[in-house]
Each structure stands twice: as structure tokens, then as C-alpha cells.
Structure 1
Amino acid sequence: MPGYQMDQSVGLSLWWRLYIYALHGYCAEILFTAAWEFALTTKYTLMGTTSVWTMPIYGISGLVVEEIYFYIKDKLPLPLRCVVYVVWTYFWEFSTGYLLRIFGACPWDYGEHIYNFMGLVCLEYAPLWYVGSIFYDQILVPGIQQLQWRHSPMTVANGNKAK
């Protein structure tokens, strides 16, 4: 438009991306536990649970997956990228779970699962983590990269705000 200029938009900062990944993980955990409880008990209340610890765990993990994504997206096909993400997920889940367990704060215990390691990770969830990795690779990371923070509204070329 003549006489108007668009102010510059920039991608989301590290802190905003951390926040989005943290909220995504937190909500996904609640939805998963609600669906799991429904599958086991058919309770229609759909009460999901999680821990506040999942927010930094998922937030930091999301940022790491984002970096992995940019490093391998043009080097590996999707099925292999998702295997890399799942390996990262198991490493991160074990590491954070181990640290939280030291302080008596680990909110999960997979000890009753057949294929668990120290009750901190279990192979039974590998297919779910793999599907979640597809979502991260194909939708979440690219979508977050498209989000922009616009610093100010459209202005008229002489500096007055458009009405």
C-alpha cells in the first residue's frame, strides 16, 4: 500500500519457544493420562494428571529436538529422524527421572512394566514416542518456526499509526 510500511517481524525468541514446548508437553501428558485412564477404567471423567516437573522437562527437550531437527532434516529420511528423536527422548527421560529420583521427586515409575530400565524408562512406550516424534518433526517444530513476533502495528510512512 502506498504510504504504508510494515514493521519488521521476527521469529519467536528462545524463551517463547521454550514456553510453547513446555505447555505442549504438559497438555499432551494430561491428555495422554486421561485417555489411558479411560482405556483402563472407562471412566468418563477424563481426569488427566501430570507433574509441574514435566514443564521444564518437555520445554528443554523440545528445544533440543528443534536443534536435532535442523541438523538432520536434510540428512536423514523421516523414519530415521524419528528413531533419533526417540533415542533422545529415552536418554532425556532417564536422565531427568534419575535426577528427580535422587530428590524423591520423580513423578513416574515404570517398574511394573515388563521392559523397563530402573523404572525410569520402558520400551512399551516406544511406539507412542515414535508417533509423537512424527508430530514434532512434521507439525510442531516447523509450525513454531513460522510463528512471528510483530513488534508494532502497521505505521504510515511518516511515523503515525494507521487507524
Structure 2
Amino acid sequence: MIVDLFLYFTVYSFIGWLMETAFASITHSKFINRGFLIGPFTPIYGFGAILIILSSNWIENVLGNHYTSLFISILISTLLVTVLEFITGFALEKVFNAKWWDYSDNAMNIKGYVCLKYSLLWGILALFLLKVVHPFLDEIIYSIPALVKRYITAFLAVYFLIDTYKSVISTLNLRKAVMNYSNMSTRKYREIIVKYKRIFHAFPRLLNLNEGIKNRDIRSILNGTINQIKIKIKNRLQT
């Protein structure tokens, strides 16, 4: 059971990353790795899917009636995933003193972390997950030999531990630079900002950190770096 749940978590984390990355890339007309982790996984989708699956199974066992249990499952799934999104957004803001996403302009939002529009979207995704995606995925995972699943799970567990560790360290280093910019040289600060530019491209609201501060404005630093790269490429093509 635990092995299967971990495989579900991995697959749905990958699907979530695909959805987020595709949307961001299409919106900005360039590839954007829309994830906190270095690899192609967005864990909030994996955790959300597990919450939906477990709560749905529990409700169906308690209520029995298919349509009633499905309706209640969608409502509870929507609530659980919304709470998960709120907690994640709140925690990330506490770390960086800035929102990684902000729904303040959307109707019926709570502190900008969640809003009715995206909560309803979570509900639609939960329905699609329970009725279409998960039954198909469940059959595939069920068909994999138990020993093979254990090996795959062990490999993925090690991978996630390494990726999470490296991603957290990177985030803490970036936070230290952003919060304590006055204690480091301009050159060192710029090197750190450029090194972690993927995070800023993935979560554009973080570009507003240190806005307007001379030699510390993140948006200006990254835009300047991009312009320098363009100039170098242009010069090479002309020679």
C-alpha cells in the first residue's frame, strides 16, 4: 500500500509539473521550469492527489452509495487541496517575506494564497482524477511486479531526498543573500542571484524583492544579464 501510494505521489507530482510548466511556458512564450524542486516534479500536486485518493476511498467505504460518495469526495477534496495550497503559500512567504503566488486580485480570496476560482479548478481536477486518470494509473501500477515496485520506490525515494535537500539548501542560500544583501559585495550578490535565476523565472513575484535598491534590484540584475548574453551572441555571429 505504501509503495503504491509513493508511486502515485511520484506520477502525480510529475503530471503537476507538466501542467504548471506547460502553462507558464505558453504564457511567457519560452520554457520555464515551474517547480520548486530541481527535477521535473511538483510535490504539492502529488500530496494533493494522495489526499484526494485516500479521502475518496474512506468516504466510499463509509457511505457506500457511488454518486453520494463521489459528490462528498469532490467537496472534501476541494477543501483539503485548498488548505494544502494555503499552508504551502503561507510557509513560503514566511521564508522569503514575499508571496510566491498571489490571488489578491481574484474574487473571494484568502490572504492571496487561495481563491474561489482556483478552488473550483481543484474540484474539477479532483473529479477528472477520480473518474479518468486514477483508474487508468491504478491498473498500470497494479500490473507491476511487487519486487520491481519496491526497487523503483527505493530509487525514487533516494532521488527525492537528494533533490529536496539540494533545493532546500539552494532556497536557504538565496534567502540569506536576499535578506542580508548589505553584508556581501555587489559581485557576490549578483553571482547568487544569477545562479538561482530559475527560481525567479518560475515564480516571477520574487523578482520584486529588493526592488529599487541600487545594485540589489533582482529584476534589473537578471535583465542586465540577459542583455549581456544577447550582445555576446550578436557579436559572435557578426565575427
Alignment TM-score > 0.5, same fold? yes
Report the counterpart of residue 202 of structure 2 in structure 1: none
User: Helix, strand or coil: the match of 1:128?
Assistant: helix
The residue that corresponds to 1:62 in the other structure is 49
Equivalent of 1:26 in 14, 17, 21: 17
Equivalent residue number for residue 116 of structure 1: 109
Q: Distance in 2 between matches of 1:138 and 1:25?
A: 17
Give the aligned partner of residue 50 of structure 1.
34
CA distance in 2, matches of 1:59, 1:87: 16
For residue 141 of structure 1, what is the aligned residue in structure 2? 134
State the Cα deviation string for residues 75-128 of structure 1 (Å, max 9, x = none).
233233211111111111101111111112753111222321111001122332
Which stretch has the larger CA shift, 67-76 or 88-97? 67-76
The answer to which structure has the higher helix fraction is 2
Q: Larger strand proportion, structure 1 or 2?
A: 1
Q: Relative CO higher for 1 or 2, CA cutoff 8 Å, sep ≥ 6?
A: 1
Please state how far the C-alpha of 1:14 moved relative to its aligned partner: 3.3
Whether 1:72 aligns to 2:59 is yes
Cα deviation for residue 32 of structure 1 reads 4.0
Residue pairs, 1:12-23, within 5 angstroms: 13-23=4-14
- Which residue identity lines up with residue 101 of structure 1 in the other structure? E
Q: Which residue of structure 1 aligns with residue 74 of structure 2?
A: 82
| Alpha-carbon distance in 1 for matches of 2:131, 2:24 | 24
User: Does 2:93 align with 1:101?
Assistant: yes
Indicate how the Cα distance of structure 1 residues 48 and 131 shifts in structure 2: closer, same or farther if over 3 A, else same: farther
C-alpha separation between the residues in 2 aligned to 1:47 and 1:116?
29
The answer to whether the Cα contact below 8 Å between 1:32 and 1:48 also exists between their aligned partners in 2 is: no
TM-score of the aligned structures, taking structure 1 as reference length: 0.68
Corresponding residue pairs, total:
136
Q: 1:138 to 1:48 in 2, by over 3 A?
A: farther
Partner of 2:124: 131
Residues 115 and 23 (structure 1), Cα distance of their counterparts in 2 relative to 1, 3 Å cut: same
